[in-house]
Amino acid sequence: MTRRRRDDLLANATGLLVLAVMVFPIYWMVTTAVKPGKQILSLTPVWFPSSPTLANFADAVQRPYFWNNLGNSLLIVAGTLVVSLTVAFLAAVAVARFGFRGRTAFVVLVIGVQMVPLTALVIPLYLLIDKVGQLDTLAGVIASYLAFVLPFMVWTMRGFIVNIPVDLEEAAMVDGCTRLGAFVRIVFPLVAPGVVATSIYGFIQAWNEFVIAYVLLSSQRNQTLMVWLASFTTYRGTDWGGLMAGATLCAIPVVIFFLIVQRHVVSGLTAGAVKG
């Protein structure tokens, strides 16, 4: 018994140690962001910010193009979501509710294309979008983002629709609903939370994307926040306080949204794996 308690104590202590090691970099980012300059560039680290300040955030927000780039990020995310949600929803219904020739091939395609690296895709996308004169426009970026947001959305949304028992629909049809009517009245309300979760995930992916925006959007005014963030680092040195404040700002919406959908992300990527 005592040995068991000692083991438990040891396990919990190790757990806390792992927690500290994993989370410390984030803690350090956030505390650096609220420290005055003197405490950031100090030869002995200041572990707890004694006089927190929002000066770094003010600096970051006042850097050139912050508001433009924030607007661009939001527009790109919104555009990507509107198109991909509609298209993905229809495809997910087909995969989840109909048996048809070519279904497995379509599913394999949807899972398979998620493995294509964006760094490989960005070369032809750049050349093709240049050909049609859409470089440095948000439309070109939105079109490119569909390539990686859409497959994931089809796959996740399919999971949500599959989980709604067909019996419910059939019951409604027995009661006189058409197939479409049953779908709209029964399935749609039940699948709504799934649609929300899927769009949040799409938001995160589009918001975080770097390579495509970095290549396609050449002028600073047209860039997204993630590219803006990379612009803090120059060879002349880095404004660490401002960068950490900017990084915190860019991470906040993602972290909040991520906390909401985290559970669904696991099941999307490894669907059914846990069942064994």
CA separation for the pair 74, 253 (Å, rounded): 11
What's the closest the beta carbon of residue 264 comes to other proteins, in angstroms? 12
Q: Closer CB to other proteins, residue 138 or residue 154?
A: 154
- Report the C-alpha gap between 17 and 83 in whole angstroms: 45
Spatial distance between the Cα atoms of 205 and 84, rounded to a whole number of angstroms:
12
> Closest distance between other proteins and the C-beta of residue 26, in Å?
6
Tell me the closest approach of the beta carbon of residue 181 to other proteins, in angstroms: 15
**Alpha-carbon distance values, 32 to 14, 49, 169, 235 (Å):** 27, 8, 55, 21
Nearer to other proteins, 66 or 232 (CB): 232
- The b-or-e profile of 162-179 (16+ CB within 10 A means b, else e) is eebeeeebeebeeeebee
Between residues 62 and 262, which has the closer beta carbon with respect to other proteins?
Answer: 262
Smallest distance from the beta carbon of 241 to other proteins, in angstroms? 10
For the CB of residue 164, give the shortest distance to other proteins in the complex, in Å. 14
Rounded to 5 degrees, what angle do the CA atoms 187, 192, 194 make? Answer: 105
**Which of 182, 250 has the CB closer to other proteins?**
250
Q: Phi, psi (5° rounding) for residue 100?
A: -150, 160
Nearer to other proteins, 16 or 171 (CB): 16
